[in-house]
Chains A and B, each alone.
Chain A
């Protein structure tokens, strides 16, 4: 009986300590959120420091984000990488890491993160779209087309994806597809200058190629 009482007391003590820990954690996060809302990012980081544990996913994510806001990009990347190591399948950690990586223009690492996300979630819209943008900027239109197509299949009325797919198709010499997509973009966003420019280019191309002697003979 005496033994049972001791065990119960120890259990209650542990539960109370844990509850206290959670309270401290919640309080630190709360103070950090307030500081962040006041754009005092360094204070928001400082509020997190007493409760920070290297093996805690949420603290690493929080510090990754706050360091990004404080423009301390390399510190931010380091925290996000710790979070990624703790939860390798967590997409949010990788999407978070992309922000400081983009800020320092480390496009190779940004690309790596998006590719990792697509391994876990092949239809992830953000990853497909932004990886498509990277390929498009590198003039790798074929790869860009494949990725934008995935997004447009999921969100046919998303203007950004439709217009990017249209331009990728145009530069990939799929003029007929590009024309349809530019027209679709004009339905979503009437009088859109990018879509109008694209349509003009498609029309010019068709004009030149339909007038060529080879085409006429056919």
Chain B
């Protein structure tokens, strides 16, 4: 008993030391020593304690950011370098590592930060102020089912990205969809234009135009979709509000959505995204709920799983990139995506999705299952 008491008494000074108020000089010099030694764990712990005690400086933020970058927590690294940037926008170390943090994180701010790099660094990294072809991507999708009256669905898309400046990017794609329903072959060529404007690293505006030329070989039923979205980044959280209108020959669909995402600390970069969407169509309204979760499995492999509940008739997702306007709406969807980054330029994407489709009928609805397989390739230039 005495042994434990003595141990406890010996531990008290240690506990009180860790809770002791640190000074600026102590925090500054210790973080610098940890930085020089490459002791990222202690550097992160000490920085956290110092910032909590309102001890802060540009160098301490830079060291903490670098430590997070080295340990693979790119979101935390970006947050720390953003703070350092608030201290001094002209610091080249901050500018460069802010860009690297965003690049590794796959953040849409990557391009915005590139605008702050010095010309010398930009030239070294091959970053152009205007890049007519910044990426090329292709996607092929096959949807199979066991319904007698519905054929398999085929979809493919080819896209090109253009960097119009450091804040403005444009993505354009052409897509093609085909399915035979009860002997009638439906084809749907599509054109998509998506604009993304970074007002600041925290505020983003998005606009999409999506044209659908649905036809059965004899008659065309064109549709036009316009979407506007605004998103706000709050450290590890991301909030988005969006609204869109789809005018087709058959109906006018209004869609309003709210999305919230969070990235958890740690090198796995685990994230969760929830979205609630309201759809108003032909005087009726309905709600859709979507949840996704993902993580970085290895340095080159990311995985994401998702589930969507609700009637997805004329529902659009990924800011209007996909419009689900096939004849039978999905009422339940779940799936997973694997993204593999093979190098600085090439990435491959594989996806499997399971859908429960609904055949609407006046005599009562019936259901069938659909299995979707996608493969995509993206080349960044």
Point out residues on A near B: beta carbons under 8 Å: 71-75, 103-109, 137-138
Interface-facing stretch out of B50-58, B100-108, B327-335, B350-358 = B50-58
Residues in chain B near residue A75, CB distance under 8 A: 54
Task: Indicate if B90 sits at the interface (CB-CB under 8 A).
Answer: yes
**B residues 173-227 touching A (CB-CB < 8 Å):** none
Q: Which B residues fall within an 8 A CB radius of A?
A: 23-25, 54-59, 86-91
Residues of B within 8 A of A74 (CB): 54-56
Contact of B89 among A71, A108, A137 (CB under 8 A): A108
Whether B25 and A108, one on each chain, are in contact in the complex, defined by CB atoms closer than 8 angstroms, is no
- Among candidates B24, B25, B54, B59, residue contacting A105 with C-beta atoms closer than 8 Å: B59
Q: List 9 extra interface pairs beyond A105-B59, A106-B57, CB under 8 A.
A: A71-B25, A73-B56, A74-B56, A104-B58, A104-B87, A105-B58, A106-B88, A107-B91, A108-B89
Complex contact B57–A104 (CB within 8 A): yes
Closest-by-CB residue of A relative to B90 is A138
Q: Once the chains bind, are B88 and A105 in contact (CB under 8 Å)?
A: yes
Inside 8 A of A108's CB, which chain B residues have their CB?
A: 86-89
Chain A to chain B contacts (Cβ below 8 Å), 20 pairs:
A71-B25, A72-B23, A72-B24, A74-B54, A74-B55, A75-B54, A103-B24, A103-B57, A104-B58, A105-B57, A105-B59, A106-B57, A106-B87, A107-B58, A107-B88, A107-B90, A108-B88, A108-B89, A137-B90, A138-B90
> Which of the listed residues A74, A75, A104, A107 has the most CB atoms from chain B within 10 Å of its own CB?
A104
User: Which residues of A lie under 8 Å from residue B58 when comparing CB positions?
Assistant: 104-107
Interface centre among A75, A103, A105 (most CB of B within 10 A): A105
Nearest-neighbour CB distance to chain A for B91, whole angstroms, equals 8
Which residues of chain B are near A137, meaning CB under 8 Å? Answer: 90
Interfacial chain A residues near B87, Cβ < 8 Å: 104-109
Residues of A within 8 A of B89 (CB): 107-108
Measured in the bound complex, the distance between the Cα atoms of B55 and A107 in whole Å is 17
